[in-house]
Chain A
Amino acid sequence: MTEHAAALAGLDAESADWPQALACTGPRREEALARLHGLLVRIARKEVARRGPRLQITGPELDDLAYQAAADALVAITSKLGQFRGESRFTTWAYKFVMFEVRLEAEDWERLPDRFGFDPAREAEWRDLLVALHRAVDQELTARQRRIFVAIVLNNVPLDALVIELASNRNAIYQTLFDARRKLRAALAADGYIDDDGWRRS
């Protein structure tokens, strides 16, 4: 028996059953996905409510955020099932992804226009561009590039504070952000928002 299998064998019955049910096919998997989704939504709602006062969003948007976080967590969990090593209950491992997704969903992208000085009165001109930028951050950047972009650009974390938080150094963080900026510019160029001469306004 492998170490991984032995660890899973030592689990409580429910935790041992989850990975098997999610890895199989047919009705058993569908039932497990639906049941897990229900659990993740419940945990995401509680977490969103817990963080609510600091999220600066209210009402139906909080519920939307919880559902989106639960859906994204479900995708992460099913794609990383092989990483569950039985070191905790399955649900504890799964709920960790809810915490990560709530954090990502709660990022304050509404600050972005102000961060770059876009005029609110001319939102029609830049709204699509910033949606494309957000999409590029999600799709093009590595997890580390994304984290550094969010910390510095959205959350205004000082570079030296980030150096400590990530146990890194200024040069490494600058280089990571430098690479991220190049990727984002290339993505926006590919979408037709920018060329060598600058922005192409619609």
Chain B
Amino acid sequence: MNGWSALDRFLRTDPRDVGCAQAMEMLHIYAELAADGAPVEERYPGVAAHLRACGPCGEDFEGLLAAVRGEAG
């Protein structure tokens, strides 16, 4: 990645992004629906936008999704 694309990614924000607190409040609901194959990005676009943009929260989501899928499997 060069400086231009890094800067572009840094500057690009999604106005639907709900922020860390609300995304973490919803995380268990979002992850369970995602594991069930529900269209969570359409249902909760603000949470989806946040999880794409925020590394630590996205990491928590990936971990919880793996845990839920592991339970189901």
Contact = CB atoms under 8 A, between A and B. Distances in A.
Contacts, number: 64
Interface in A45-101: 46-47, 50-51, 87-89, 91-93, 95-96, 98-100
Interface residues of B, number: 25
Contacts of B68: 92, 95
User: Chain A interface residue count: which class?
Assistant: 20 to 34
Contacts of B56: 103
Contacts of B41: none
Interface of B: 10, 13, 17-20, 24, 27-29, 31-32, 53-54, 56, 59-60, 62-64, 66-68, 70-71
18 contacts: A46-B70, A47-B67, A50-B62, A50-B66, A87-B28, A92-B31, A92-B68, A95-B28, A95-B68, A96-B24, A96-B27, A96-B60, A102-B63, A103-B56, A103-B59, A164-B53, A165-B20, A167-B19
